[in-house]
């Protein structure tokens, strides 16, 4: 089974590339972030024609997540149970379902904006609720994984120049400790291989030629429990999808499982 995660930065803007990519890769399950669409705008029909069922948690121009599956989509939960509000709103940042042999979450963790900003406090609270919500499945015998845009670079090796990020979000000890807590709950960082260069970055800013210069970050992560991690036969970042006109600023992370 092939499972992947991709922050598409608007499913409407990305639809032609998304459909072509799904067909060319034969992906069975895709976790999508930043759909940036309302529930009504979601392209169910186009995806159904390619054989995908969809579970969607989306409410407009910001955020929004989805799960696509060709191998079944059962017991869908929209949202993060026990998750915090931001400015009084439960934002659409999580959706989970059982896809064939695996239980899967698609998550779009809050950005945080600036260290100690209210959004940063929200980000840490969101991680805390996520860890509590997944603890049971993480310790279970069924293959289980949380995939998505975690908005944290796990180590200094996961940013193109650590000096540039000093004092900024995505690299702080508190954010990295949140990832450590997830690992302590039983999830392992399934690190993909890069298709070029030495580091498996998944995000490159649109500005200042960041992609051609490989000024990237690894912030799109696959956190799987032991049965999931044991089944991984390959994992890679599809940087080809970051090329050219009409690309997202994130590349897909693809994981092949023997299940």
Partner DNA sequence: ATGGCCGAGGTACTCGGA
Which residues in this chain contact DNA in the complex, by CB under 7 A?
7, 9-10, 12-13, 34, 36-38, 41, 60-63, 110-111, 113, 119, 149, 151, 169-170, 196, 203, 205-209, 211-212, 217, 219, 243-247, 249-250
Q: Do residues 253 and 220 make contact, with C-beta atoms less than 8 angstroms apart?
A: yes
Question: End-to-end alpha-carbon separation of the chain, Å?
Answer: 6
* Residue placing its CB nearer to DNA in the complex, 30 or 138: 30
Placement of tokens 């910001």 in the chain: 62
* Residue placing its CB nearer to DNA in the complex, 165 or 259: 165
Q: Which of 116, 191, 207 is nearest to 157 (CA)?
A: 191
C-alpha to C-alpha distance for 114 and 203, rounded to whole angstroms:
19
* Residue placing its CB nearer to DNA in the complex, 53 or 149: 149
Q: How far is the CB of 85 from DNA (least distance, A)?
A: 15
Q: Which residues contact 55 (CB under 8 A, 6 or more apart)?
A: 66, 67, 69, 73, 76, 78, 95, 97
Q: How far is the CB of 214 from DNA (least distance, A)?
A: 8
Q: How far is the CB of 59 from DNA (least distance, A)?
A: 10
Q: How far is the CB of 98 from DNA (least distance, A)?
A: 27
Q: What is the CA radius of gyration of the chain?
A: 17
* Residue placing its CB nearer to DNA in the complex, 48 or 61: 61
Q: How far is the CB of 130 from DNA (least distance, A)?
A: 16
Q: How far is the CB of 34 from DNA (least distance, A)?
A: 7
* Residue placing its CB nearer to DNA in the complex, 50 or 209: 209
What's the angle, vertex CA 31, arms to CA 243 and CA 170, rounded to 5?
A: 70
Q: Which residues contact 156 (CB under 8 A, 6 or more apart)?
A: 162, 171
- Reduce the DSSP state of residue 95 to 3 states and report it: strand
* Residue placing its CB nearer to DNA in the complex, 205 or 234: 205
- Reduce the DSSP state of residue 22 to 3 states and report it: helix
């Amino acid at each position: 089974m092939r499972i992947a995660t991709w922050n598409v930065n608007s499913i409407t803007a990305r639809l032609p590339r998304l459909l072509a990519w799904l067909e060319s890769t034969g992906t069975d399950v895709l976790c999508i972030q930043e759909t940036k669409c309302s529930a009504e705008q979601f392209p169910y029909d186009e995806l159904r024609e390619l054989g995908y069922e969809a579970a969607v948690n989306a409410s407009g121009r910001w955020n929004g997540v989805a799960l696509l599956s060709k191998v079944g989509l059962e017991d869908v939960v929209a949202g993060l149970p026990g998750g915090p509000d931001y400015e009084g709103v439960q934002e659409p940042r999580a959706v989970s379902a059982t896809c064939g042999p695996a239980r899967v979450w698609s998550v779009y963790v809050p950005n945080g904006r600036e260290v100690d900003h209210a959004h940063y406090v929200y980000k840490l609270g969101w991680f805390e609720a996520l860890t509590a919500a997944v603890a049971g499945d993480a310790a279970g015998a069924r293959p289980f994984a949380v995939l998505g845009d975690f908005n944290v670079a796990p180590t200094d090796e996961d940013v193109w120049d650590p000096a540039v990020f000093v004092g900024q979000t995505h690299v702080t000890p508190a954010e990295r400790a949140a990832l450590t807590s997830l690992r302590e709950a039983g999830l392992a960082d399934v690190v993909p291989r890069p298709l070029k260069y030495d580091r498996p970055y998944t995000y490159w800013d649109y500005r200042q030629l960041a992609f051609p210069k490989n000024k990237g970050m690894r912030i799109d992560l696959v956190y799987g429990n032991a049965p999931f991690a044991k089944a991984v036969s390959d994992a890679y970042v599809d940087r080809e999808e970051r090329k050219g006109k009409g690309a997202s600023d994130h590349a897909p992370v693809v994981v092949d499982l023997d299940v």
